[in-house]
Amino acid sequence: VTLRTRLEHLDTRSTRWLTAPEPNAAGRMGLFRIIYALFYLWYLATNPVETMRGYRVLDFNSIKLVEVLPTFSPVSLRLIQAGLVAALVLLALGYHTRIATGAVLVLGVVLEAISASIDLEHSTVLLVAFIPLLMLVDGHWGDTYSVDALRARSRGDAVVSPRDPSGERFVGARAIFVVLALLFASAGISKLLPSSTWFSHPDLIASLILELNVENVIEGLPANPTAGPIAETQVVHQSMRLGVVVLELSFLAALFSVTLRQLVIASALVFHSFNALLLGISFTPILIAYAPFVDWQGLLDRALPRRSPRPAPKHAAALAPIALIAALVAASMWYANDALEDVLTVGGALEWRTIWYLVLPLALGWLLVQLVAIGKGVRRATAGPLGMDSPP
């Protein structure tokens, strides 16, 4: 078998994997677009652009992209963020979705690169760079639940059903999961390298939990009641040391099974929730990378089961100026005062840590559902044909 044949085989298999049908793919991507835009607006509301104004002085990480960009004044930074807000509003409404996605990508990367030059650890590449880039290439998240779709219907173009399971509509989502898996794999592998202290430092997790607990209490966060008991119980903190690496590396394995993918995502959400709520460790923007793998369309159908297809609106053309006005108003408000930020963060109550109080019960429920489904699959497997899904 030549190298060329092997590469062709890999190409065919990866195409089949990327384009495999997914239930409700069209509707899920449309709803994901709205959730993404709202989540991004919330993220911006929790990260005041004013704290970036001294980034040329606070340049702790030399980011090449920031070095090649001009120096932005505080007013320019506010204008860039207002522009990003306008693009996100247009994206949420699905008006000129591809242009809005491109604008979100460019403006978001500029702002986040500046943020990363100050604090690399808490910068987010999935939210600002890879999700919009992959969605720009994929080009399908504006096909449903959008002004674009309504205008296309009123023109008599073919209507995309939200329940369309075509795999082509889910390519972007699967690509997001590959990027996520590669990043998690890099985290797991970095802990296995000889230069890492993860397995060589004695009682690493115990000391880390105690150290973080003291830091958090000084910073005004709640104390972690499990810190002492975990640190004093060798079997627990040593298992956690191993468990973290297993979870990080399991993302790669999850590429080969939908069942494992859903299980790993549910486990990761529980893991992130406990990290945020008990240890004060948060990588909150990662939440959005899991969102495409929730069947939002299925949930909507369960919540509103008796919806009949609506006719195309008679005045679909009027939606365009409405969308533009909404974007302009939101951008102006963002630039002028903190009113919108206050709405999005519920007066500051919904921030990087407290959002996990909402996520944790849902993640636990999802994990339970996945475990029950796997249990049923195993029972079926022992009784007859294998019920589990097969690798691509």
Partner 1 sequence: MRPPEAAEARAPAALARERVLATKLIIGLFALGLCVVSNRSNLWPVVTWPMYHARTPEVPPPLVSVTHLRVTDEEGRQHLLRPEELVPEPRNQAAEELIEQSFSSTPDREEWREELVVLVERALGDEAVAEVAALERTWRVEPYATPPLDSSAPVREVVSGRFAAGARSGVGAAP
By CB under 8 A, how many residues form the interface with partner 1? 85
- Choose one: 210-218, 263-271, 311-319, 384-392; the region binding partner 1 (CB under 8 A): 210-218
- Choose one: 34-42, 53-61, 321-329, 356-364; the region binding partner 1 (CB under 8 A): 53-61
Gap between the terminal Cα atoms of the chain: 21
Range 222-241, binding partner 1 (CB under 8 A): 223-225, 227-228, 231-232
List % helix, strand, coil for the chain (3-state, nearest 5).
Answer: 70, 0, 30
Helix (H) or strand (E) holding 204: helix 204-218
**Given 20, 35, 38, 46, the residue binding partner 1 (CB under 8 A):** 46
Range 81-120, binding partner 1 (CB under 8 A): 109, 112-113, 115-116, 118-120
**Given 3, 193, 235, 304, the residue binding partner 1 (CB under 8 A):** 193
- Choose one: 191-199, 257-265, 304-312, 379-387; the region binding partner 1 (CB under 8 A): 191-199
Range 287-346, binding partner 1 (CB under 8 A): none
Q: Would you list the DSSP string of 21-81?
A: --TTHHHHHHHHHHHHHHHHHHHHHHS-GGGGTTTTTS--S--HHHHHSPPPPHHHHHHHH
**Given 97, 144, 250, 282, the residue binding partner 1 (CB under 8 A):** 282
Compare residues 149 and 319 and give the one whose CB is closer to partner 1.
Answer: 149
Distance of closest approach, residue 217 Cβ to partner 1, in angstroms: 5
Compute the CA torsion angle 135, 138, 139, 141 (nearest 10 deg): -60
Least Cα distance to 221 among 71, 80, 354 occurs for 354
Least Cα distance to 294 among 274, 269, 272 occurs for 269
Asked if 71 and 95 touch (Cβ cutoff 8 Å), the reply is no
Range 350-379, binding partner 1 (CB under 8 A): 351-353
**Given 20, 34, 159, 210, the residue binding partner 1 (CB under 8 A):** 210
* Cα–Cα distance measured from residue 367 to residue 188, given in angstroms and rounded to the nearest whole number: 22
* Cα–Cα distance measured from residue 363 to residue 269, given in angstroms and rounded to the nearest whole number: 6
Compare residues 136 and 327 and give the one whose CB is closer to partner 1.
Answer: 136
Compare residues 281 and 374 and give the one whose CB is closer to partner 1.
Answer: 281
**Given 98, 153, 154, 198, the residue binding partner 1 (CB under 8 A):** 198
Range 118-177, binding partner 1 (CB under 8 A): 118-123, 125, 128-130, 133-134, 137-139, 168, 171-172, 175
What's the Cα-to-Cα distance from 302 to each of 293, 307, 349, rounded to whole Å?
17, 10, 30
**Per the structure block, which two tokens stand in for 366?**
């999802």
